[in-house]
Amino acid sequence: MQYKEYGKTGKKVSVIGFGGMRFRKEDYSKSMEKCAAVVRRASELGVNYFDTAPNYCDDKSEEIMGEAFKDMPNPFYVSTKSAIWSEKNADDVRRRIEKSLKRMGLEKITFFNMWCILNLEQYRKVMAPGGPYEGALKAKEEGLIEHIVFSTHCNGEDIETIVNEGYFEGVTLGYNATNFAFRQRGIKAAYEKGLGVVTMNPLGGGIIPQNPEFYSFIKENENDSLVQAALKFNASHKEITVVLPGMGTIEEVEENVKAGENFGEMTEEKLNKMAKMLNESLDALCTGCQYCKGCPKDIEIPKYMDAYNMYILNKENTAISDRLKWHWGMNKEKAAECIECGKCEAQCTQHLPIIERLKYIANI
């Protein structure tokens, strides 16, 4: 496993981190132990960056981590989060930190994320007097957390604005072989400012391994699986400190950590070449993150957008209807019920034209 300096924090972290959002329900609903063993296996193989959050895996992820940490001899760093939608002020954040510490059996959290900042308006709310950042800062002064970082789905320009204001030591953001052009500016700005850069969603919500032909261009080594190639794609960027795939089984851990052993160096030339291959579909794919949920018309947007992904990848309308019918057991009619309120587009982490796509689907 290779290690990189996390910004200016003095921490050396494994280039492959453990994303604690993919534990299997069939495992944790019976016992925490099977999931905890997955975490421990990652530690044995050199992973020392463990990311979790309240609410992941039916709110069990932090508890699973805590179970694993009881019996993990290698040193490790922990990242968890508080969200502006549930921890609205400094006191809420304090309570959240205390709860996370208790659940994980820790005395301090290494990296505490102001979670999922979607736009500058939310950022201002996080930073407002008496707001979440203030709560985190106080906890830091008291030694309950070490570094305040932020996690975001903002576009590159907004990330640059946040980074340049200088309140954070690192950033967690979605970056992969699908959306890289969209976030280049953000990772560059963070790197130049000396922040650690953690990249979540390196497999594009599963889209990359599910479409091996389309994404074959990211493979530099024939012996790598597409998952490994996608992780290496991120790891090879000098701007990126940690690649964070979600892991739910020991097999996944063993496959993922191999990507952290050797990887090339990403150059502008390679990126430009890849961008050309992705052409107009750059960042156009839905990653399935589900942040657009809560439609007033109960339209299952992520499922419709997933079906539209198939159209982008196959250029056939039948790919949409087939995906809806055979994969999701749905039909296109519900898409026509959109009242264009715009709520989903305001929340979409990929800034997709959801309304336009729903109209397209309704009319195929």
297 counts as binding ligand SF4 under rule CB under 6 A: yes
Which stretch in 87-95, 180-188, 208-216, 284-292 sits in contact with ligand SF4 by CB under 6 A?
A: 284-292
327 counts as binding ligand SF4 under rule CB under 6 A: no
176 counts as binding ligand SF4 under rule CB under 6 A: no
354 counts as binding ligand SF4 under rule CB under 6 A: yes
Interface pick for ligand SF4 out of 142, 276, 341, 353 (rule CB under 6 A): 341
Residue 16 DSSP label: B
* The length of the chain, given as a count of residues: 364
Which stretch in 86-94, 178-186, 268-276, 343-351 sits in contact with ligand SF4 by CB under 6 A?
A: 343-351
288 counts as binding ligand SF4 under rule CB under 6 A: yes
- Evaluate the CA torsion angle 282, 287, 291, 297 in order and state its sign: positive
Nearest to 38 by CA among 19, 15, 11, 57: 19
Cβ-based nearer residue to ligand SF4, 190 or 286: 286
- Provide, rounded to whole angstroms, the least separation between the CB of residue 339 and ligand SF4: 5
Q: CA distances (Å), 156 to each of 142, 226, 243, 247, in order?
A: 33, 26, 18, 27
Cβ-based nearer residue to ligand SF4, 96 or 303: 303
- Provide, rounded to whole angstroms, the least separation between the CB of residue 61 and ligand SF4: 20
Taking 3-state DSSP, the helix, strand and coil percentages for the chain, each rounded to the nearest 5, stand at 50, 15, 40
Cβ-based nearer residue to ligand SF4, 206 or 209: 206
355 counts as binding ligand SF4 under rule CB under 6 A: yes
Residue given tokens 């990653």 in the structure block: 287
Query: Cα 317 to chain center, whole Å?
Result: 30
122 counts as binding ligand SF4 under rule CB under 6 A: no
SS3 state at 246: strand
For residue 151, give both structure tokens: 């996690």
338 counts as binding ligand SF4 under rule CB under 6 A: yes
Interface pick for ligand SF4 out of 305, 307, 312, 319 (rule CB under 6 A): 305
Interface pick for ligand SF4 out of 210, 343, 362, 364 (rule CB under 6 A): 343
What number of chain residues touch ligand SF4 (CB under 6 A)? 29
Q: Which residue intervals of the chain are DSSP H helices?
A: 25-28, 33-44, 56-59, 61-69, 90-104, 120-127, 132-141, 156-165, 180-192, 207-210, 226-235, 250-258, 268-278, 301-314, 317-322, 343-347, 354-362
301 counts as binding ligand SF4 under rule CB under 6 A: yes
339 counts as binding ligand SF4 under rule CB under 6 A: yes
What residues pair up with 14 in beta bridges, in sequence order?
3
350 counts as binding ligand SF4 under rule CB under 6 A: yes
336 counts as binding ligand SF4 under rule CB under 6 A: no
- Provide, rounded to whole angstroms, the least separation between the CB of residue 201 and ligand SF4: 10
End-to-end CA distance of the chain: 48
Q: CA distances (Å), 251 to each of 38, 53, 230, 261, 345, in order?
A: 9, 23, 17, 16, 36
- Provide, rounded to whole angstroms, the least separation between the CB of residue 341 and ligand SF4: 4
Nearest to 226 by CA among 261, 256, 267: 256
Which stretch in 90-98, 175-183, 246-254, 299-307 sits in contact with ligand SF4 by CB under 6 A?
A: 299-307
Cβ-based nearer residue to ligand SF4, 48 or 179: 179
Q: Give contact residues for ligand SF4 (rule: CB under 6 A).
A: 286-292, 295-297, 299, 301-302, 305, 338-344, 347-350, 352, 354-355, 358
